[in-house]
Amino acid sequence: MKTYRADLHIHSVLSPCGDLDMSPVTIIEKAQEAHLDIIGITDHNSTRQCPLIKSLGQKAGILVLCGAEVTSHEEVHCLALFENDKELLLFQNYLDLHLPNFPNNTELFGYQVVVDENDFIIYEEEKLLISAINQNINEIEKMVHSLNGLFIPAHIDKLSNSLLSQLGFIPSDLIVDAIEVTSHADIGKLQKRPDFQNKGFIRNSDAHYPGQIGSAFTLFELESPSFQEILLALKNQNNRRICI
Amino acid sequence: MKVCDLVNKLNLQVYAGEKGLSREITGGYTSDLLSDVMGNAEQGEIWVTLQTHKNTMAIASLKDLAAIVLVKGNQPEADTAKMSNEEEIPILGTTLSSFEITGRIFEALKL
């Protein structure tokens, strides 16, 4: 078993709040500098910058999990991560279907662009990506799991846009693959709550700027870096485990 | 004032939890953050919100609230309505915004 360093919550230039320097090339460079083995690309309600980062990651020896940070109808932020391009595309269709048709205002919110490996803009998203989609958290979880993805409530201890701030506690029928906490979280206290029993915790940077990549991370003990191995570690099976 | 009196006075919809219409209302609380309601709503209050998730009913039950009022024409999700019937805490509805219905409930409870 080897230990791999993972930061599964990184925004790119596509997120309106993401820095314009967060290009695919820069993200991979900074991930290497931060000694990350595995990263997750999770822009707000869009997966469109993921494929290029994944292919750059392959060349650089970094496993890139593709997905999004989805805003539920209750305004809960949740990470959704997928293994294959096919499922990622189906999830993108689902996001396009359910994201409200509210236009972005670049002066207020920032640019929402997909860039290529030379940093040329190849797509601009017109709809505001930080809107809540027209699906509740349980519906999103079911969709993610129907596509064999990972469903992880984001920064659960934050006072805004977290599962706890918006809904008070983890619904008993919600299936989560892990819980993301911030670096300020009191994990011992959370673990005493009945709704947190048998839940695995991960920590990520939620990076919006290049310098933040890898500033928080989770160690995975795996046989090799792969989506399926990560799944085993989150379930604490076959000697795979997570450590924060 | 009882929940049923408020329903008649303000012409509210009753979506679920009819058996709880005789609950007494002691005050009100308006918030869409369930963590806030858990911490700050008081027993017997009527809760004005746009949230429709099942967790709202769990919190209404935990805090022993009189009823929930959904604003802007929002309707409870099926499992939320089911729990309302089980807990006998009514879910009411209005097409008004939180601002308007809160003002009207506030006036009604003063009388």
Nearest CB to A136 within list B33, B37, B53: B53
CB contact under 8 Å between A168 and B54, yes or no, is: no
d(CA B68, CA B80): 11
Q: What is the DSSP string of B28-51?
A: EEE-S-HHHHHHH--TTEEEEES-
Residue with tokens 């011992």: A188
What's the gap in Å between the CA of A152 and the closest CA on chain B?
18
Class of residue A121 by CB neighbours under 10 A (exposed 0-12, middle 13-18, buried 19+): exposed
Scanning every residue of chain A, which has its alpha carbon at the shortest distance from the alpha carbon of B39? Answer: A168
Cα B20 → chain centroid: 11
A165 → closest Cβ in B35, B54, B77: B35
Which residues neighbour A197 within 8 Å (Cβ) at sequence distance 6 or greater? none
The Cα of B64 is separated from the nearest Cα of chain A by a number of Å equal to: 16
Look up residue A232 and give its amino acid.
L
Name every chain B residue with its beta carbon within 8 A of the beta carbon of A136.
52-53, 77
Residue of A155, A167, A174 to mutate when probing chain B, most B C-beta within 10 A: A167
The residues on A that touch B, with CB distances below 8 Å, are 74, 136-138, 164-169, 171
Question: What is the per-residue pLDDT across B56-82, written as a single tens digit (0 to 9) for each?
Answer: 999 999 999 999 999 999 999 999 999
- In angstroms, the separation between the Cα of residue A27 and the nearest Cα of chain B is 34
Which secondary structure element, helix H or strand E, spans residue B23, and what is its range? Answer: none
Q: Which residue of B has its CA nearest to A167?
A: B34
- A165 to B33: CB separation less than 8 angstroms, yes or no: yes
CB contact under 8 A, A171 and B53: yes
Cβ contact (<8 Å) for B55 and A165?
A: no
Q: In CATH, what number does A2-243 get?
A: 3.20.20.140
Nearest to A45 by CA among A86, A79, A22: A79
Q: How far apart are CA B31 and CA B69, in angstroms?
A: 11
Q: Which helix (H) or strand (E) holds B92?
A: strand B91-93
Best CA proximity match to A177, nearest among A48, A81, A45, A34: A81
**Which chain A residues touch B70 with a CB distance below 8 Å?**
none
- Nearest chain A alpha carbon to B80: A171
To the nearest whole percent, how much of chain A has pLDDT over 90?
98
- Report the 3 state secondary structure along A72-97: CCCCCEEEEEECCHHHHHHHHHHHHH
Say if residues B10 and B100 touch (Cβ distance below 8 Å).
no
* Structure ipTM: 0.80
Half-sphere exposure of A58 (CA within 13 A, CB side): 6
From CA B104, how far away is CA B111, in angstroms rounded?
11
First to last CA, chain B: 9
pLDDT digits (tens, 9 = 90+) for B40-60: 999 999 999 999 999 999 999
Q: Using CA atoms, how far apart are residues A147 and A92, in angstroms rounded to an integer?
A: 11
Domain ranges of chain A: 2-243
Q: Are A80 and A67 in contact (CB under 8 A)?
A: yes
List chain A residues with CB under 8 Å of B59: 168
> Residue A190 has what pLDDT?
96
Average pLDDT over residues A45-72: 98
The C-alpha angle B29, B32, B38, rounded to 5 degrees, equals: 65
Q: What pLDDT, on a 0 to 100 scale, did the predictor assign at position A182?
A: 96
pTM of the model: 0.91
Contact A171 B54 (CB under 8 A): yes
Which residues of chain B does A167 touch, with a Cβ-Cβ cutoff of 8 Å?
A: 34-35, 51, 53, 55
What is the model's pLDDT at position A129? Answer: 97
Q: Provide, as residue numbers in chain B, all residues whose Cβ is less than 8 Å from the Cβ of A164.
A: 35
Distance CA B111, CA B65 (A): 20
Supply the range of the domain harboring residue B52. Answer: 3-110
Q: Do A168 and B37 touch (CB under 8 A)?
A: yes
CATH number at residue B30: 3.40.1390.20
Alpha carbon distance A146, A82 (integer Å):
11
pLDDT tens-digit series, residues A86-123: 999 999 999 999 999 999 999 989 999 999 999 999 99
Q: How many domains does chain B have?
A: 1
What is the tens place of the pLDDT at every residue in A176-209? 999 999 999 999 999 999 999 999 999 999 999 9
Query: Is the pLDDT at A71 greater than 90, yes or no?
Result: yes
Q: Which 3 state secondary structure label does DSSP give A178?
A: coil
